[in-house]
Amino acid sequence: MNFFKKLFNTGPKLPPLDLSILGTDLHSHLIPGIDDGSKSLEDSIAMLKKFAALGYKKVITTPHVMSDFYRNSPETILGGLETVKNELNKQGINIEIEAAAEYYLDFHLNDLIKEERVLTFGDRYVLFELSFSQEQPNVNQTVFELITEGYKPILAHVERYPFYNNNWERIQEFRDRGVLLQLNMLSLTGHYGPQVKRMAELLIERDWIDVIGSDCHHFQHLEMIDQMRTNPFLHKLAAKENLLNKFL
């Protein structure tokens, strides 16, 4: 009997985490109608109300910028941001929202760097993502250009790239180059598959994650986050004193 208790004992159940400890959510898609996230202003406001109910004080939303699919610009993103802000003020919803972008690493990004048309947040942070099929050959060069121009690159959802699964040497190389690492909260639920879930856990165990984000595209993502607040790895990461969310 004692053997089976030990075998199946997962430890004391943790209480739901009050997400106000994070302060700010980084990485979401809340500007209506400009990418694969929010479809309408009503959707955006419903999601922001839920963010506030979960304890967040601020959201930094990051629409896709991708030359082949989402040709967003500072004008389209910031114009959409103003629409959302005006509606928040109109309804008296107490949450702050800023906007930057999630830049797909293609040659268009190199052009934006040269033209100084990169949207940043905080201390010149820039969120970028890679292809999920293979690492682009110009990754190191683009990272070098970003850092040379005074930007601080953050690699989005590092745990989701199959070519980085257990590739600790390559991930360490990013860290050595000055790239910060962002993890999706939903990865800890198994939403993207068991391999991604385990990779997320290992990254947290190694203390290699600098910032956590919802990567929220629709209201159901926030419902999933609400349900996973007892996750021990989420608790562990949220307790990290220098987690970037707390300073944005």
- Please state the φ and ψ torsions of residue 56, each to the nearest 5 degrees: -65, 140
**Alpha carbon separation from 115 to 80, 112, 125 (Å, rounded):** 22, 5, 17
pLDDT (average), residues 128-143: 97
Domain ranges for the chain, please list them: 18-247
Of the given ranges (9-18, 152-161, 172-181, 188-197), which has the lowest mean pLDDT? 9-18
CA–CA distance, 152 with 134 (Å, rounded to integer): 23
pLDDT (average), residues 197-217: 98
4 pLDDT above the threshold of 50: no
Name the 3-class secondary structure at 25.
strand
pLDDT (average), residues 71-76: 96
DSSP state of 216: B
Residue by residue, DSSP assigns 72-128 as --HHHHHHHHHHHHHHHHHHT---EEEE--EEE-SHHHHHHHHHT----BTTTEEEE
Give the pLDDT score at 206. Answer: 98
- Please state the φ and ψ torsions of residue 134, each to the nearest 5 degrees: -160, 155
Span 47-73, pLDDT tens digits = 999 999 999 999 999 999 998 889 999
- Please state the φ and ψ torsions of residue 153, each to the nearest 5 degrees: -75, 140
DSSP state of 20: G
- Return the CATH architecture of domain 18-247: Alpha-Beta Barrel (3.20)
- C-alpha neighbours within 13 Å on the C-beta side of residue 189: 16
DSSP state of 162: G
Confidence class of residue 13 from pLDDT cuts 50, 70 and 90? confident
CA–CA distance, 185 with 196 (Å, rounded to integer): 11
Both tokens of 67, joined, read 């030359």
User: H or E element: which one contains 139?
Assistant: helix 139-148
pLDDT (average), residues 66-92: 96
Span 91-129, pLDDT tens digits = 999 999 999 999 999 999 999 999 999 999 999 999 999
